[in-house]
Structures are given as C-alpha cells and as structure tokens.
C-alpha cells in the first residue's frame, strides 16, 4: 500500500508517494542527503550496484553546474532559470551565482513537489531565490508561471539551466522542442547550460543506463552529437561539449587529462554552455 505524506498548508499541498523512488530523492540519496525514503535508497543502491562510483558521477555533475553558473555570472548574467533544480544540496545555484553577483535572482523549477517543500527553508533566508513546481514537458507552464514572471525579466539575458535532467527523457519524447520553447522566450545574450549522460562507447555508460532503467525506468545515455542537438543550434562557448572534469569554460585552454586517464565515473557526464547571439 502506498504511504502518502501530505504537506499541511495550502495552496501547494504536495503529496508524496514514498513507496516509489523519485528522481530528486534518488539523486539526493546518491549525494548522501537526508531527504529520501527507503524506496529511494533502494534506487540509489541500484546505481551503486551497476556503477560503484555513482556518487562521484553526481559530484562531477554538481562540479559542472558550479563551473557553468560561475561562468555565466562572471559574464554578467544576474537571473537564472534552473529547470530540474533538485533538492537543496551543497553549493546550490544561488550560492554560486550570488557569491559573484550578490543581486542575482534564481528561480528553481522542479516537477517534484518535495523540492518546493524542502526548498522553503532556503527561501526563508534568501529574498532573491524562488522555487516553482512546474514541468519541463510544459514549457508554457514555466514561462507563464506567476512566480517565474515576478522574478525573471525576459527582456534581459537569462541563464537557462537544464543540468542533470535530460537523461531522464527519451528522444522519442522530442525533448529538444521544450528547450527550444524556453530559448525562444530568452533574449539574445542569454546562455543555456546543460549536462547529460554521454554515450561514447565506454562500457560504464551503458552500466549507468541500466541502473537508471532498473531503478527509475529512465536515464538514457546519448551520443555527443545528440547532446549538442539539444542546444538548438546555439554556438557553444569554448571548449564546447566535453566530459565535465575536462571542461573549464572560464579557462578553455587549460591542460586537461586524456579521456582514457579519467576514472570511469568521470566518463559519464558531459557539459556545455550555448550562447544566444
């Protein structure tokens, strides 16, 4: 029987089915967070079974998020739309952005209501941060959400973020169309930061795909050219798309390790930033 935990105050009334894993809570469990339940920890264990370095994969992804946000903030971006934001964890987008630009506004969007519930604590201390329950599959719902419109001025450049999220959509769903709809709303001077699971033929990549399919029913890997397609034709900021531990948008000429010298856990997550001219 499904156990349900309900939030108490309207208008959100989030209902959590804790008998089934969710992406946000499994990711939290992999990162060592506390906002998860037994089914989520089973999901995390599935990841560990197939890829013992799954925590390093998640940390690698967070490092990519931090590098990307810092790059955009130093380029003057002061409003971020972070879609698929996840549960609050270490070095969240607003912390990285506001260290560089104290007035930066961040809107976190997630379709799992637990993110809103737990994010309230964060909101209490930060006036420039908003959390919205909305779905990437419904970009209009994001773009017309009153809290998004209150926080983001779409006549000024936006730092759009879709980090650690795209692997959860199969290409049959045509997820690039949702990205295009969001980008259409952002003016020139905006950026898109995205990370995704890569498929370059390395066996560890197929293992993480198996883990995702077993625990969540999604979590596919993509050929790098497919990942690039989801930037919808935006030119990529140097060094372009690469494994996150080789990717330094603020130092594109930095000497980086050869792919074959990377730990297998670092041969999964690729990242890039596109620039809307």
What residues from 162 to 191 belong to the interface with ligand SAM (CB under 6 A)?
Answer: 163-165, 168
Contact 131, 50 (CB under 8 A): no
In this complex, which beta carbon is closest to ligand SAM, that of residue 83 or of residue 158?
83
Number of helices (H) and strands (E), helices first, in the chain?
10, 9
In this complex, which beta carbon is closest to ligand SAM, that of residue 135 or of residue 214?
135
User: Minimum distance between the CB of residue 277 and ligand SAM, rounded to whole angstroms?
Assistant: 26
Residues ≥6 apart with Cβ < 8 Å to 82: 93, 106, 107, 108, 109, 161, 163
Sketch the per residue contact string, 103 through 142, with ligand SAM: x for CB under 6 A, - otherwise.
------xxxx--x-------------------xxx-----
Q: Which of the stretches 40-48, 60-68, 253-261, 264-272 binds ligand SAM when contact is defined by CB under 6 A?
A: 60-68
**Is the previous residue joined to 273 through a cis bond, with omega within 30 degrees of 0?**
no
Is residue 222 helix, strand or coil? Answer: strand
Q: Indicate the Cα dihedral angle 90, 21, 23, 15, nearest 10°.
A: -90
265 touches ligand SAM (CB under 6 A): no
User: Minimum distance between the CB of residue 183 and ligand SAM, rounded to whole angstroms?
Assistant: 16
User: Minimum distance between the CB of residue 81 and ligand SAM, rounded to whole angstroms?
Assistant: 11
In this complex, which beta carbon is closest to ligand SAM, that of residue 42 or of residue 188?
42
In this complex, which beta carbon is closest to ligand SAM, that of residue 82 or of residue 207?
82
The two beta strands, 242-243 and 129-133, are unpaired
In this complex, which beta carbon is closest to ligand SAM, that of residue 43 or of residue 164?
164
End-to-end distance of the chain based on CA atoms, in angstroms?
52
User: Minimum distance between the CB of residue 238 and ligand SAM, rounded to whole angstroms?
Assistant: 22
Contact 265, 53 (CB under 8 A): yes
How many Å apart are CA 1 and CA 7, to the nearest integer?
19
What residues from 72 to 101 belong to the interface with ligand SAM (CB under 6 A)?
Answer: 83-86
User: Minimum distance between the CB of residue 83 and ligand SAM, rounded to whole angstroms?
Assistant: 6
In this complex, which beta carbon is closest to ligand SAM, that of residue 164 or of residue 249?
164
Q: Which residues of 188-225 are buried (b: 16+ CB within 10 A; e: fewer)?
A: eebbbbbbbbbbeebebbebbbbbbeebbeebbbbebe
Structure tokens at 243: 């494994």
> What backbone phi and psi angles, to 5 degrees, belong to 222?
-135, 145
User: Minimum distance between the CB of residue 180 and ligand SAM, rounded to whole angstroms?
Assistant: 16
Is residue 9 helix, strand or coil? Answer: coil
What residues from 20 to 39 belong to the interface with ligand SAM (CB under 6 A)?
Answer: 23-24, 27
Name the one residue in this structure whose structure tokens are 């630009």. Answer: 101
In this complex, which beta carbon is closest to ligand SAM, that of residue 169 or of residue 234?
169
197 DSSP β-pair partners: 269
Applying CB under 6 A, the residues found at the interface with ligand SAM are 23-24, 27, 61-62, 65, 83-86, 109-112, 115, 135-137, 163-165, 168
């Amino acid at each position: 029987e499904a156990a349900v935990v309900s939030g108490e105050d309207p208008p959100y009334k989030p209902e959590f089915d804790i008998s089934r894993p969710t992406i946000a809570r499994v990711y939290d469990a992999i990162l060592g967070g506390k906002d998860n339940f037994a089914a989520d920890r089973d999901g995390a264990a599935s990841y560990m079974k197939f890829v013992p370095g799954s925590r390093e994969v998640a940390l690698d992804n967070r490092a990519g998020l931090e590098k990307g946000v810092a790059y955009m903030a130093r380029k003057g971006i002061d409003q971020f739309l972070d879609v698929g934001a996840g549960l609050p964890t270490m070095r969240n987008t607003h912390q990285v952005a506001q260290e560089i630009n104290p007035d930066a506004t961040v809107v976190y969007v997630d379709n799992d209501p637990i993110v809103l519930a737990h994010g309230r604590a964060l909101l209490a201390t930060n006036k420039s941060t908003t959390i919205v329950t909305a779905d990437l599959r419904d970009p209009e719902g994001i773009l017309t959400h009153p809290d998004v419109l209150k926080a983001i001025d779409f006549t000024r450049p936006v730092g759009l973020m879709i980090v650690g999220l795209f692997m959860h959509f199969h290409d049959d769903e045509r997820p690039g169309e949702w990205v295009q709809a969001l980008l259409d709303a952002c003016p020139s001077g905006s950026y898109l930061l995205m990370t995704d699971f890569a498929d370059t033929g390395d066996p560890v990549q197929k293992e993480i795909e198996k883990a995702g399919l077993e625990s969540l029913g999604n979590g596919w890997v993509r050929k790098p050219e497919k990942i690039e397609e989801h930037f919808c034709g935006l030119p990529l900021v140097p060094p372009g798309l690469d494994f996150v531990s080789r990717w330094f948008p603020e130092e594109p000429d930095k000497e980086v390790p050869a792919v074959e010298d990377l730990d297998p856990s670092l041969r999964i997550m690729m990242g890039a930033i596109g620039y809307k001219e």
